[in-house]
Amino acid sequence: MLNTILNELNLSKTPPGEYSALTLAYLGDCVYELYVRSYLIKDGNKNVNTLHKAATKYVCCRAQAELYRKIEDKLTDEEKAVFHRGRNTKSHVPKNSEMKDYRDATGVEALVGMLYLKGEKQRICDLLKYIFI
């Protein structure tokens, strides 16, 4: 069913580079969280409260900023450019977040969103595996 919905959306009408950095981050946030949740259930059924607590360690802006530091030297020039677009976008920083971490997290989310729109699922997996290392 999800494939049907995604195919009907026909995301390819708009090239990924034409989306705003915040739109890419909006989508990338969802893809990132789905990746984390999928990873956490890879070994089977678990208590949902336990899963939620585990997920919050990885989906916070501090963890995403740390991920960027791990993958920074592995990014292509295009990926770096998208990250910088996301990082440099003006957005409201939540009270309990450091500005640098929040901006880096937005850059990571924009990068993931761009890769998703390009259909580069393997590249997303290759980069996001560093969350858990």
77 catalytic per annotation: no
Task: Say how far apart CA 131 and CA 7 lie, in whole Å.
Answer: 29
Please give the structure tokens belonging to residue 56.
């919050």
Catalytic residue among 29, 73, 77, 126: 29
Whats the size of the chain, residue-wise? 133
Task: Say how far apart CA 44 and CA 61 lie, in whole Å.
Answer: 27
Catalytic (active-site) positions? 29
